[in-house]
Amino acid sequence: MVTPVAPQSANLAEWLNWLETLSPREIVLGLDRVQAVLSRLGLQRPKRVVTVAGTNGKGSTAAMLAALYGAAGCKVAIYTSPHVSRFNERMCVADQMLSDSAIVNAFLKVESVRQDVPLTYFEFGTLAALVAFAEARAEVYVLEVGLGGRLDAVNAIDPDGAVICNVSLDHCDWLGADVESIAREKAGVMRAGIPVVYGASPAPQAIVDIAQSTGANLLLADRDFHVGGNEPGRPGWTFAFRDLAPITLQVPALAGKFQVRNAAGALALYQSLEGTDTLTPPAIDAAFSAVRLAGRMQRLDTTHRWLLDVGHNPAAAKALAEELARSHAGNITAILGVLADKDLTGLVQPLLPHVDSWIAVTPRAPRALPAMELASRVASLAEKPCWIAESIEAALTLAVDLSAQTDLIVVTGSFYTVGPALDTLAPVARSTLGYTRDADTKGAS
């Protein structure tokens, strides 16, 4: 196969189109290729590298870790994936998305040393992020694993500490058909002597076993750190690290009761690396209250009420169902678009008690499940008709027609569904919990 020549222009869109031609397969796990190019780049290691892995909550946990280091006065770079609306979202320094020019310059640097090493879209982007972060002289890198952990491109960089948020079933074709198999893949981010936080309880046995075999310092929820409070009628939550007295904190700004667990995992890793006295409770509160993430239980108000969530596996669907049960009593219309390899039954069943009307749509992705097939399967599970929309924009219009202004419209199932919906809704929304997206005027370079 002949690979097209890389663009020499400063146009980010041209580069992204070219990246999609690099590999015939979207996912190719393995570290040899990334490590080979990384060694040629000769990048200086920053003060801190922390890695975030897990099935759900990686983006939220990474954002909260970055906020903690920012509150401590560090210049923080954060790499996450996939993006919701713009590629630039994947690479942020000091709370700002990198500019198009900074990303293109990083692409040029990677391509200049890559030679004959084949890279996937994600591998090329990961290396470019490291180049851009070094150019920006960031002191702390917070890196979110793309898929699994052991063979993910992010794992080519040895971390000083890691968080594994949780493990549940997702990407089973790549990572294994059961939780223990998936846990073994995610535990690949462990290194000897580094703190590794596991944020859910109980931990899979594979997490415990691999921590012992690698010599990692495993910190377990409900053993090494504890969360309390976060109950109706009891404002705030408590966090206790090891045998220290609990501190009382405000609930994080990110919506969803589960975000307290993500915050606790981030805080446990931060305190294990930097000490328990470097940030006061008010400073921690300020850090967590400033975190914004598009597409994570994100609420918008237009003429109607919206909730957008990128969840795409059964565990994420259960969390969304809990949020719907807790926060809304009216009718709910759900716009659903998923990729073909997802557990559709596991995605839909938790939502059935809460959703009154369903609209199926085809996400804008090569692996998308066609709306016609999706609608048929949803209708069978829900035992009620499911509408079919020709596009995400048409689905939004149909949902408005089906809903009263006091009802709730949910958009979920995939980043590739939520992203286009957010692009349409955000410009006309009266309020949003998303972050700033004007990278061209405020982007770091």
**Span 418-431, pLDDT tens digits:** 999 999 998 887 65
User: What pLDDT, on the 0 to 100 scale, is given for residue 62?
Assistant: 97
Residue 94: CATH number of its domain: 3.40.1190.10
Same-domain status, 327 and 276: no
User: What pLDDT, on the 0 to 100 scale, is given for residue 359?
Assistant: 98
Residue 408: CATH number of its domain: 3.90.190.20
Same-domain status, 205 and 256: yes
147: enclosing H helix or E strand: none
Same-domain status, 371 and 271: no
Residue 389 backbone class (left: φ over 0; alpha: ψ -120 to 50; beta: rest): beta
Domain assignment of residue 424, given as a range: 303-428
User: What pLDDT, on the 0 to 100 scale, is given for residue 175?
Assistant: 63
Residue 236 lies in a domain: no
User: What pLDDT, on the 0 to 100 scale, is given for residue 433?
Assistant: 44
Same-domain status, 99 and 152: yes
Residue 445 lies in a domain: no
Same-domain status, 265 and 135: yes
Same-domain status, 87 and 194: yes
* Cα 261–chain centre separation: 15
| pLDDT tens-digit map of 279-291 | 999 999 999 999 9
Per DSSP (E only), the strands in 70-132 are 76-79, 91-93, 96-97
Same-domain status, 160 and 198: yes
Please give the average pLDDT of every successive group of 10 residues along the chain, which has 445 residues. Answer: 69 92 70 95 97 92 98 98 94 97 97 92 96 98 88 94 86 68 92 97 95 98 91 79 94 89 97 96 97 92 93 92 83 96 94 97 93 97 96 97 94 96 87 37 32
CA-CA distance, 134 to 130, in Å (whole number)?
6
Domain closes at, from 231, 256, 289: 289
Same-domain status, 269 and 415: no
Asked if 412 contacts 334 with a C-beta cutoff of 8 angstroms, the reply is yes
Residue 215 lies in a domain: yes
Residue 370 lies in a domain: yes
Residue type, 76: V
User: What pLDDT, on the 0 to 100 scale, is given for residue 203?
Assistant: 94
Same-domain status, 336 and 424: yes
Same-domain status, 267 and 324: no
User: What pLDDT, on the 0 to 100 scale, is given for residue 240?
Assistant: 96
Beta sheet of 225-231, edge-to-edge order? 225-231, 234-241, 247-249
Residue type, 305: R
User: What pLDDT, on the 0 to 100 scale, is given for residue 26?
Assistant: 59
User: What pLDDT, on the 0 to 100 scale, is given for residue 441?
Assistant: 27
Output the CA torsion 153→158→164→170 (10° steps).
20
Domain closes at, from 235, 257, 289: 289
Same-domain status, 53 and 183: yes
Asked if 149 contacts 207 with a C-beta cutoff of 8 angstroms, the reply is no
User: What pLDDT, on the 0 to 100 scale, is given for residue 257?
Assistant: 84
Residue 234 lies in a domain: no
CA-CA distance, 242 to 219, in Å (whole number)?
9
The closest of 31, 139, 4 to 76, measured between CA atoms, is 139
User: What pLDDT, on the 0 to 100 scale, is given for residue 432?
Assistant: 47
- How many domains does one find in the chain? 2
Residue 197 lies in a domain: yes
Same-domain status, 330 and 408: yes
User: What pLDDT, on the 0 to 100 scale, is given for residue 234?
Assistant: 62
Domain closes at, from 228, 262, 289: 289
Residue 67 lies in a domain: yes
Residue 266 lies in a domain: yes
